[in-house]
Amino acid sequence: MTPADLSRTVLHTVRCAVEADELRATVPARVSVRVPPRPGCGDYATNVALQLAKESGRPAREIAELLRGRLAGRPGIARVEVAEPGFLNITLDTASRGDVVRELLAADLAGEPLPLQPPAALLARLGSDAARWSLTCPPGLDRDLLLVQRETNPLFRVRYAHARSRALLRNAGDLGFASEAGDVRDESAAPLLAALGDHARVSSTRAPERVARHLERVADAFLRWQADRPTLPRGDEKPSVVHRARLALAEATGTVLADGLHQLGITAPAHL
C-alpha cells in the first residue's frame, strides 16, 4: 500500500461512515496522509478527524475512534492508533511496505531541476554542489562545513548514503544476485520506508528546503537501517529472499536520493 493508496482507503472509510449515518459531515475531496514527525507514531498519520470535527459538532478524538474501528483490519493496515487531539497514526503491514519499494523501482523518477542559482562568490568559494545545498540551509549555518566529509555535514551524509546504496548493488552483482522487491519484515526499516513513500508528496511542493530536509531524513534512516540489518550475505551464507528484498530497498533508496539531488542540481556520486 502506497501513501496514495492509503489516502484513498481513509477517504473511503470516511465515506462509508457518512453513508452509514455514523458521521454527519461532508466527505472531503481528498485526505492527506503524512509521515509523522517523530518515530513511534506509525508509518503515516492523518488529521482527517480534526477536519471533520467542526462540521459534525463532535470531538475530534471521538471521530478518530470511530474511524479507527473501521480502518483496523483493512487489507494492508496492521495497526491504527489515536493520538491527541485526534490524529490517526497508521502502521502498514509488511507486504504493504514492500509495495512502496516496488512502486519506486517501477517509477520513472525524473523531477525537474529547481531554480537554485548561487551567487558567483559562493560558487567560487564552495563549488557548485555545496553552494546549491547551502541555499537550502537555515540562516547562520557555517557554509564551510559543507566542504568537510564528516557526519555533521548533511550534504555529505546524503551523498554518502547514495554512494553506499550503489556500492551494495555492485557488491551484490559480484556475489551473483540482484535485488527483488518483497516483504520487508525488518521493523527497523519502517522509518526508511515511510520516508521513501513520502518522496512524491515532498517533490510536488517544489520547495528546495523541503526537498533537502527530506533527503536528509531518507539518508539518515537508510544509514541507521544499514547499521542494524546487513544487506549482503556474510561469510559462507547464501543470498536469500531476505537479502534480495533488502537490496531492493537499498536500490529504491538510491533512486530517491539521486532524484532529489538532481532536483537540487547536485551530483549524486556512485563512489565517495
Side-chain-facing half-sphere of 162: CA atoms under 13 Å: 22
Given a contact cutoff of 8 angstroms between Cβ atoms, the answer to whether 136 and 158 are in contact is no
Angle 137-34-114 from CA coordinates, rounded to 5°: 40
List, in sequence order, the alpha helices (H) in the chain. Answer: 3-19, 48-56, 60-71, 94-106, 120-126, 128-134, 154-174, 190-197, 199-205, 208-228, 241-263
Compute the distance between CA of residue 15 and CA of residue 21 in angstroms, rounded to an integer: 10
Strands 87-92, 44-46: pairing kind = antiparallel
Sheet containing 77-83, strands listed edge to edge, beginning at the edge strand earlier in sequence: 44-46, 87-92, 77-83
Residue 142 clears pLDDT 80, i.e. is over it: yes
Residue 94 clears pLDDT 70, i.e. is over it: no
Residue 96 clears pLDDT 70, i.e. is over it: no
What are the φ/ψ torsions at residue 206 (nearest 5 degrees)? 60, 30
Residue 184 clears pLDDT 70, i.e. is over it: yes
DSSP assignment letter at 61 = H
> 112 vs 210, which has greater pLDDT?
210
What are the φ/ψ torsions at residue 37 (nearest 5 degrees)? -70, -20
Peptide bond before 269: cis, by omega within 30 degrees of 0? no
pLDDT (tens digit per residue) in 2-18: 777 889 999 999 999 99
Given a contact cutoff of 8 angstroms between Cβ atoms, the answer to whether 270 and 164 are in contact is no
Cβ-based neighbour number of residue 33 at 10 Å: 24
Residue 95 clears pLDDT 70, i.e. is over it: no
Task: Write down the pTM of the prediction.
Answer: 0.77
> What are the chain's domains?
3-92 (3.30.1360.70), 96-263 (1.10.730.10)
Residue 171 clears pLDDT 90, i.e. is over it: yes
Q: Using the structure block, give the residue that is written with the C-alpha cell 556474510.
A: 234
Q: Tell me, what's the pLDDT at 39?
A: 67
pLDDT (tens digit per residue) in 27-65: 999 898 887 877 677 888 999 999 999 889 999 999 999
Q: Grid coordinates standing for 144?
A: 564551510
